[in-house]
Structure 1
């Protein structure tokens, strides 16, 4: 694998981990402050919420692995990451609800309602923030930036 592709995957993997942490954190705080459930319907079962977030993490990982390779298009990468994560979460919410309840129309309504709720809109917001930060890291790396070194590590280079 060429160096830029490998670097893109590494940055994308760390960004996906940060994204997952932010979504879980923001879901917790939003749920606490608004006294609302992430998945308000008990009929959805316990796995629809985690599956939707997991799908959005996978979408972010794949989106960034492709978008963080030179030449960089930061705005495009950020917008596509936000779009794909939101779409992945909504589609998985629709499918998960359909599997749990067996109703197609109710599943569509549930998935779209989730997508436009506070919790559904936190997904693209967190994705956009993380994609922007990952894009900055990837651009810095391609520009020659290296990791910080401790003073005793610098002595060996000179």
Structure 2
């Protein structure tokens, strides 16, 4: 459970940083369609977080999780983001063409790639944490309650 929580937090942090970096590098908003507001972006990120947590949670339930699930988690997260942004943009604008243009800009402009990479890194880290069975560090004298 701890690996999942840390991975979801890591994914969100990487995604926010990456999207901010793309916005600064391109000197443009991530969703640059006037009149849409912040709703589609918020809905898209919430959907991406939910799908990331669900998919990684399923991958971590296996006794020995495999890194082969990383591309699946990353792709599902990115596609869920696009679908949610499209649906939210459609609801706000009422126009299929505007919603499709917003999603097309996300794919062409780099934000979708940022989310894909962020999800892959965070999923890999979560699986690595689960596979290593990391424990608290122990001093040599902190053995079992045996006499020395």
The alignment's TM-score, normalised by the length of structure 2, stands at 0.86
* Pairs aligned (count): 144
Q: Specify the alignment match of 2:12 in structure 1.
A: 20
1:82-123 residue CA offsets vs partner (Å, 9 max, x unmatched): 111111110011011101110123312322332342112100
Give the 3-state SS of the residue equivalent to 2:30 in structure 1: coil
Q: Specify the alignment match of 1:72 in structure 2.
A: 65
Q: Specify the alignment match of 1:3 in structure 2.
A: none
Q: Is the 8 A contact 1:86 1:115 kept in 2?
A: no
Aligned: 1:113 with 2:111: no
RMSD over equivalenced CA pairs, Å:
2.0
CA shift, 1:55, in A, is 1.1
Q: Specify the alignment match of 1:147 in structure 2.
A: 136
Q: Is the 8 A contact 1:90 1:112 kept in 2?
A: no
Higher relative CO (Cα under 8 Å, sequence separation at least 6) belongs to 2
The alignment's TM-score, normalised by the length of structure 1, stands at 0.81
Give distance in 1, aligned partners of 2:97 and 2:20. Answer: 29
CA shift, 1:156, in A, is 6.9
Q: Is the 8 A contact 2:31 2:102 kept in 1?
A: no
Q: Specify the alignment match of 1:45 in structure 2.
A: 37
Structure 1: tracts of 5 or more residues without a match:
1-8
